[in-house]
């Protein structure tokens, strides 16, 4: 009878499980599927735009049924969640006062819409313990790309895609530098922790991989913007994680290493020297990135002055350059949809109100990462890299750098919020109604 009772009990439990969708959609298996898709998305980002887009869409579809919407709405009160939503709301409203065709206005929403995933990622990765799976997958994927980069530098025929730069297997050198710099500085803290714990082999491995990423940037394919945000990140790392003597020693060592690299890398000297050449040659050639940026910035400031509070509306950047190019020649006649500065790209379209929301979002995302955990350090690197590189680019709106920011802030931010919750109430489970995953 006991056997028969047990046999009857199992189908009853299974029937009850299938009768309640909210149960199986928040089960360990379902949440594992959500996390695996996030891992695949992070791994695909260095390699493929289309694969990342498909995986993001699948992740949204799979994660949606697992959300406790009451808890999610409560989480939206956090500025780190609310500000991206408010920014996107302003962009949507900006279609109303834009002058261009509706197709252009709606297209202006596309680069910003990805920010809506930040609250969802923050929500989910507060409630799962698999955030490091995602970060590790990205590191592993970038490591494979770095190895391939060295290979195709010497054997170009092995490139999997046509690119404009030697040593860049896919996409472009700017994207590649963003990935490699992020990985290099993310590894700095594990290397330091391993050294302090006397795990010298592990520390040496982390350091060797870190230096391999940096060497690839400096000797194979360098985006000059990377030199700026790497210098900032080096100072921030020394300030946050080293004592005074160690900080001074690191900075002095960095200066010596930079001098040695400068003397041994003709490629680096050429890349830096090109800045002056580009600026001086623009009157003759009309094509020079330094001169182009200066022209775009000057014009964008003029466009902002014409509509300072709310800007010219969503998708209006190209129309403003078209209007200003009438009767002009050379650089003055260039028509672009990207002023190569994130602040100005926002200001032209949504005025000072948009700039205030952008800076408030950046600031609150920085505040997510005030802790001393590895996740907090990685998140801090992601935000600082985006803010600094956006001085010379519109990286929040670009596909690759924009998704790097969204995924980095969402995953590392969720892990940091989880750690903060556990510090405040170590004996109590998270108030979510969702059982945290194992692993």
Predicted local confidence at residue 420, as pLDDT: 85
Query: Can you give the pLDDT at residue 278?
Result: 53
- Spell out the residues 6+ positions from residue 172 whose beta carbon is closer than 8 angstroms to its own: 163, 164, 165
Convert the pLDDT of each residue in 111-131 to its tens digit. Answer: 999 999 999 999 999 999 999
pLDDT above 70: residue 25: no
| Cα-based angle 330, 331, 333 (whole degrees, multiple of 5) | 70
Residue 283 pLDDT greater than 50, yes or no: no
Q: CA–CA separation, 362 vs 263, rounded Å?
A: 37
Query: CB of 91 within 8 A of CB of 350?
Result: yes
Torsion of CA 373, 379, 381, 384, to 10 degrees: -130
Residue 341 has pLDDT above 70, yes or no: yes
166 pLDDT tier (thresholds 50, 70, 90):
confident
- pLDDT 10s digits, 44-54: 999 999 999 99
> Is the Cβ–Cβ distance between 310 and 97 less than 8 Å?
yes
The structure's pTM equals 0.86
Residue 286 in this model has a pLDDT that exceeds 50 = no
Q: Where are the domains of the chain?
A: 69-127+300-439
DSSP state of 171: S
Cα separation of 439 and 437, whole Å?
7
> Among 66-80, 383-397, 424-438, which stretch is predicted with the lowest mean pLDDT?
424-438
Residue pair 173/222 in contact (Cβ under 8 Å)? The answer is: yes
Whole-angstrom distance, CA of residue 296 vs CA of residue 398: 17
Question: Given a cut of 60, is residue 436 above it in pLDDT?
Answer: no
Q: Of all residues in the chain, what percent carry a pLDDT higher than 70?
A: 85
The CA-based diameter of the chain, rounded to the nearest angstrom, is: 95
Confidence grade of residue 246 (pLDDT, cut at 50, 70, 90): confident
């Amino acid at each position: 009878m006991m056997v028969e009772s047990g046999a009857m009990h199992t189908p009853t439990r299974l029937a009850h499980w299938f009768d309640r969708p909210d149960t199986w959609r928040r089960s360990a298996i379902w949440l594992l599927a959500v996390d695996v898709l996030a891992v695949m998305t992070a791994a695909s980002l260095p390699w493929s735009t289309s694969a990342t887009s498909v995986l993001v869409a699948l992740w949204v579809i799979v994660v949606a049924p697992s959300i406790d919407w009451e808890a999610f709405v409560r989480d939206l009160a956090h500025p780190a969640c609310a500000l991206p939503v408010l920014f996107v709301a302003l962009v949507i409203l900006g279609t109303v006062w834009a002058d261009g065709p509706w197709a252009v206005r709606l297209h202006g929403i596309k680069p910003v819409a990805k920010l809506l995933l930040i609250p969802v990622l923050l929500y989910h990765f507060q409630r799962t313990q698999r955030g490091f799976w995602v970060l590790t997958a990205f590191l592993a994927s970038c490591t494979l790309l770095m190895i391939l980069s060295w290979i195709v530098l010497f054997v170009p025929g092995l490139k999997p895609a046509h690119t404009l730069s030697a040593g860049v297997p896919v996409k472009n050198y700017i994207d590649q530098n963003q990935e490699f710099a992020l990985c290099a500085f993310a590894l700095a803290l594990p290397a330091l922790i391993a050294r302090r714990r006397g795990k010298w082999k592990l520390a040496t491995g982390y350091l060797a991989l870190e230096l391999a990423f940096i060497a690839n940037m400096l000797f194979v394919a360098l985006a000059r913007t990377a030199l700026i945000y790497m210098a900032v990140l080096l100072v921030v790392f020394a300030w946050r994680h080293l004592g005074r003597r160690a900080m001074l020693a690191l900075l002095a060592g960095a200066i010596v290493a930079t001098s040695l690299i400068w003397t041994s890398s003709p490629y680096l000297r050429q890349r830096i020297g090109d800045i002056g050449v580009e600026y001086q040659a623009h009157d003759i050639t009309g094509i020079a990135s330094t001169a182009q940026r200066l022209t775009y910035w000057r014009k964008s400031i003029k466009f902002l002055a014409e509509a300072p509070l709310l800007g010219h509306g969503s998708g209006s950047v190209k129309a403003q350059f078209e209007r200003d190019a009438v009767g002009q020649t050379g650089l003055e006649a260039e028509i672009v949809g990207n002023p190569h500065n994130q602040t100005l790209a926002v200001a032209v379209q949504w005025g000072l109100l948009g700039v205030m929301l952008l800076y408030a979002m950046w600031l609150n995302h920085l505040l997510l990462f005030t802790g001393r955990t590895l996740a907090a350090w990685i998140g801090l690197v992601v935000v600082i890299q985006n803010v600094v590189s956006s001085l010379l680019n519109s990286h929040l709106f670009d596909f690759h750098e924009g998704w790097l920011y969204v995924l980095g802030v969402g995953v590392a931010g969720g892990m940091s919020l989880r750690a903060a919750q556990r510090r405040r109430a170590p004996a109590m489970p998270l108030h979510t109604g969702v059982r945290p995953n194992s692993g």
